[in-house]
Structure 1
Amino acid sequence: MSIYRSALLIAGPFVLVTGFYFLTFSGVQEGRASSNAVHLGTPETYSSAPQIKTTDPEKLFQAECETRAKQVQEKISIPINTLVRAPYILMGDYDTQTLDALYRKTILPTQYALNVWYFDRKPDRPITIIALSSQDRYQQVAFDLDRRKVGSYYGYFHSEEMRIILNLTTGSGTLAHELTHALAEIDFPNMPEWFDEGLASLHEQCEFSESENQLLGSSNWRVQILLSALDRGQLPTLKSLVQQIRIGKEREALTYAHARYFSLYLQEKRLLSPFYRKLRTNAELDQSGLQTLQQVLNVSDLSEMDPDFQKWLIGFRTESDK
């Protein structure tokens, strides 16, 4: 796994926090934050989101998170607020009410759904989430902590530090993407990179199921990348997607889109969760996931699925033309 897991050009708001686009400024001072701390209206939650009950963390774990928060805060050059809700350390140039709403209405429901369908291990170390209110501040904090120039990226996950930094004004889909990476790092650290990116990207655009315990991904802007490649005869096979060890920078956008829509394809076949759990069990023997995919899809060779996948993909063009 690479140290950095980045959300590439995540456009379009994630449905649960549309209110985050309407920024107003407050004169309230909290912690190190000055009068330019951003105050937002209460974020809108998912459609039919469950109310998640929390329990008090162990005192030692809470203390570990508070210590980590101080260490991180000392390295940041802009005024920020901090809210510790172990295992999460929430930081940013938003007021603490907004950080708390982000925790209750975005982070907890996302974690709940991911735990139901995929992840069995609970976070056993602090997870830092730094949400910024502009691209400039996001770039500054990324440089402060990692000496990293983020360019057109809107968020990334640093796996060794278990830290997410993001520009929240691009939509909470960025947070859902990176939070999936963080929780997957704990539950399945050896997950193949293509699937790690596919599952995370799936949650850029999603909503809760009627049963209120599953995040259902839906189509987003990435489909146009796939349809364009398909029209040019340049869409890679599913086998080539799965067998690659690392995602190359030269075809990153296409690979992210391919992995996301293959994950959506598996979701619609109700095979995504079974594939994840079976792959986690088989990880030592099937590092790429190819053999496990062939088992859950009941085919002897994954290439048998390319015609059906491409036919399914073309259906998104038909929908967009209506």
Structure 2
Amino acid sequence: MAGFYFLIFSGTQEGRASSNAVRLSAPETFQSAPEIKLLQPSSRLLAECETQAKQIQQRISIPTNLLVRAPYILIGDYETKTLDALHRKAIQPTEYALNVSYFDLQPDRPITIIALSSQERYQQVAYDLDQRKTGSYYGYFQSDEMRIVLNLTTGSGTLGHELTHALAQIDYPDMPEWFDEGLASLHEQCEFSDEGNQLVGISNWRVQILLSALDRNQLPDLKSMVQQIRINTDREALTYAYARYFCLYLQQKRLLSPFYRKLRTNREFDETGQRTLQQLLNVHDLSEVDADFQQWLTSFRVKPKQ
């Protein structure tokens, strides 16, 4: 599982096309993955998946193969056996690990994952289905359609990022946007725990955005980031990086999973998550956390070679 997981969930920049594309290996080269025993889907869900799969495939202008593994619909310009391996060795283990740490509700509707073998084909399918001009981005989640479209050859964490969004949409649809993006971004570069049942986020390229802002005294305080109802598009890259690394900060304190579950319980009176964070971190105001978080952040500076 580790070999396949690294291929799909590692990379330089989530959401941006990479010039050093990594081609998806043939299924027989994947390292063995544990078999995840999942509940059999209902006949209703299976029928919905099969009907929706055919409808979506007919709207795509390039030749594709189709595989239904309810609740997932897998479509792509790969061989069917490759789509099956993608399901068994990436999607299933990832869903299982996310459920262990965060999600309680099982998918009750189809989730479509469309995996393409080039940036050109990804852009064509994005336009076919959503009239979307993707530019240099190579993956997105269309929440109203529960559909992920991605260029699988980039070798980045797009699948982990977008699959987190899709499963969160089912379990906690009104999650604060900053936390939704932070949790999804955390899983764009991560690894399985030693027990193989949880995902552990690790550092990635986004830290340089934070360190640069910190050096220029332009890093917002934590309260300002958390209080956002909607992420300001003018500072989107900085907010995504901030949210990701604050999730990593909570993870290292073993508070990330408790925060998710407690916030989901408190959703009616804590729209942004500020109160729940104050309770978990045992502070009266989030400004009390800023110094510790910034000090922790500096530990990611690359030390010059001697």
Do both share a fold (TM > 0.5)?
Answer: yes
Matched, 1:40 2:26: yes
Q: Residue 128 of structure 1 contacts residue 164 of structure 1 at CA under 8 Å; is this kept in 2?
A: yes
Hey, what's the Cα distance between the residues in 2 that align with 1:197 and 1:45?
30
Given the alignment, which residue of 259, 276, 287 partners 1:303? 287
**2:102 equivalent to 1:154:** no
1:41 CA displacement: 4.3
For structure 1, list consecutive stretches of 5 or more residues without a partner in the other structure. 1-6, 14-19, 24-38
Structure 2 residues not aligned, in runs of 5+? 1-13
The aligned residue for residue 149 of structure 2 is 165
- Paired positions, count: 293
Q: In the alignment, is the contact (CA less than 8 A) between 2:181 and 2:243 conserved in 1?
A: yes
Q: What is the alpha-carbon distance in structure 1 between the residues aligned to residue 31 and residue 17 of structure 2?
A: 19
Contact 2:77 2:117 in 1 (8 A): yes
How far apart, CA to CA, are the structure 1 residues paired with 2:245 and 2:100?
22
1:216 to 200, 207, 220: 200
Match of 2:4 in 1: none
Q: 1:149 to 1:226 in 2, by over 3 A?
A: same
Task: Please say if residues 36 and 93 of structure 2, whose CA atoms lie closer than 8 Å, have aligned partners that are also in contact.
Answer: yes
Tell me the equivalent position of 1:30. none
2:15 is matched with: 8
Deviation at 1:124, TM superposition (A): 0.2
Contact 1:8–1:253 under 8 Å retained in 2:
no
Displacement after TM superposition at 1:211 (Å): 1.8
Counterpart of 1:40, as a letter, is A
CA distance in 2, matches of 1:203, 1:10: 18
**Which residue does 2:7 correspond to in 1?**
none
Amino acid at match of 2:231: I
Distance change >3 Å, CA 232–CA 118, structure 1 → 2: same
TM-score (norm 2): 0.91
Distance 2:262 2:154 in 1: 34
Structure 1 residues 202 and 124: CA distance shift in structure 2, 3 A: same
4+ aligned runs moved over 3 Å, structure 1: 10-13, 41-46, 318-322
Q: For residues 42 and 295 of structure 1, do their structure 2 counterparts lie closer, same or farther at Cα, with a shift above 3 Å needed? A: farther
Moved more, 80-89 or 245-254: 245-254
Matched, 1:249 2:210: no
Q: Cα distance, 1:10 vs. partner? A: 7.5
Match of 1:62 among 37, 46, 69: 46
CA contact (8 A) 1:173 1:205 kept: yes
Q: C-alpha offsets along residues 213-232 of structure 1, whole Å, 9 cap, x if unaligned?
A: 11000000111111011111
8 Å contact 1:45–1:106 — kept in the other structure? no
Letter in 2 for 1:8: G
> What's the offset of the Cα at 1:246?
1.1
Q: CA RMSD in A?
A: 2.0
Aligned equivalent of 2:250: 266
Aligned residue runs from structure 1 range 194-233, under 5 A: 194-233=178-217
Q: Work out the CA distance in 2 between the residues paired with 1:207 and 1:54.
A: 21
SS at match of 2:191: strand
- 1:133 offset after TM fit, Å? 0.6
Change in 2 beyond 3 A, CA 1:43/1:203? farther
Mapped to 2, the partners of 1:320 and 1:8 lie a distance apart of 29
Shift of 1:54: 3.3
1:296–1:154 distance in 2 versus 1, CA, 3 Å: same
Q: Is the 8 A contact 2:67 2:74 kept in 1?
A: yes
Distance in 2 (alpha carbons) for counterparts of 1:12 and 1:66: 36
SS at structure 1 position matched to 2:301: helix
Task: Report the identity percentage.
Answer: 71
> 1:141, 1:195 → 2: CA distance?
29
3-state DSSP of counterpart to 2:145: coil
User: What is the CA-CA distance between 1:251 and the residue it aligns to?
Assistant: 1.0
Question: Post-superposition shift, 1:45?
Answer: 5.5
Show CA shifts across 1:74-116 (max 9, x none). Answer: 1100000000000000001011010000000000000000001
Give 1:172-187 correspondences, 5 Å limit. Answer: 172-187=156-171
Change in Cα spacing, 1:283 to 1:40, as seen in structure 2 (3 Å) is same
